[in-house]
Amino acid sequence: MAPRMKFSSAGSCTILPPEGHRGREGARSMELGYVGLGNMGGALARRLLVSRRLRAFDLRPEAVQDVASAGAQPAQSLEALGQACDAVLLCLPTSNEVREAIFGEGGLAAGMTPGGIGVDQTTGDPNATRAMAAELAERGLELIDAPVSGGPHGALAGTIAIMAGGTEAQFARMRETFEAISPNVFHCGDVGAGHAMKLVNNVIAASVRAATFEAVAMGVKNGLSLTACAEVLHKGSARSYTTEFTLPRLVDGSGKSNFALELMLKDVRLATQLGVDSGAPMFMANVARNLFQQAVNEHGGGEDVNALIHTVERNADVKVVGG
């Protein structure tokens, strides 16, 4: 049966913790923790702090201090965070870091009590997520996935999309917490479905960015200006996030999107591998993957994703930005 997708409206909802789990009732009384306070995780944590209590952990003291200034309570360790919380949300670079945070020495699993739930907001590997959920279930613990799309600005503004994967009961338990971040909450199916949806989203976004950059480079080489491309494309059938936000940033010189090339490459790799694993050919996505790999090789993985335009410029032998 195909996964069901439902929009969760921001109506009233009472969320009961699992039987025997600290005896707390209601989403607002849930003790929440957050692990991973980077650009995205920090913004999500700050959004939660508008209406929720929150404990926070990151390996970087300055990141913890930043959200502590907004009202978060710093946690001294992952194990201590697990002991103190009913639900712990995580937003880390990859599923490998999520596994280490949960199962590593002194990790969350060492402190969480039966009925505790982890919520993985990383752009992760659906298969890895399912495996971790199965391992936690053997300990009486739960894991669901709830990655997001819309950037840190969308998280802070409360407009970001949240794509959840878990059982109906797990989704119901966490729904009001998700809605404290944004009303745009979607239940995509069982555990791993949220991560699968995020990969669908990100591989489309990456492929459109790559195709747009290449087409604009061709246009500039044939006498068009970047400004004209930015103005016209967003009013026509080629409009996209790239034409609405990225091209104008290239025009005015602000340029950066605060998302690293290596993270975009990671997302495209995960999507194409999921295609291999499931027998769903990803011909266009593999072309995009090769272009992002070239950009990482040329500029370094830590560079902003929009450094891709310079790889495209080199390939086309034309100056697009500042030309």
Q: Which residue in 6, 198, 256, 266 is the catalytic one?
A: 198
Are 83 and 113 in contact by the 8 Å Cβ rule? The answer is: yes
Tokens of 138: 């053997």
Active site residue 6: no
Among 112, 189, 202, 100, residue whose Cα is nearest residue 146: 189
What is the four-CA torsion angle of 25, 162, 181, 137, rounded to 10 degrees?
A: 30
Bridge-partner residues for 187, per DSSP? 6, 164
Residue 159 burial class via C-beta count within 10 angstroms: exposed 0-12, middle 13-18, buried 19 and up: middle
The per-residue b/e assignment along 17-36, b for 16 or more CB within 10 angstroms, e otherwise, is: bbeebeeeeebeebbbbbbb
* 155 and 131 Cβ atoms separated by less than 8 Å: no
Gap between the Cα atoms of 213 and 257, Å rounded? 15
Rg (CA), the chain: 21
Catalytic positions:
198
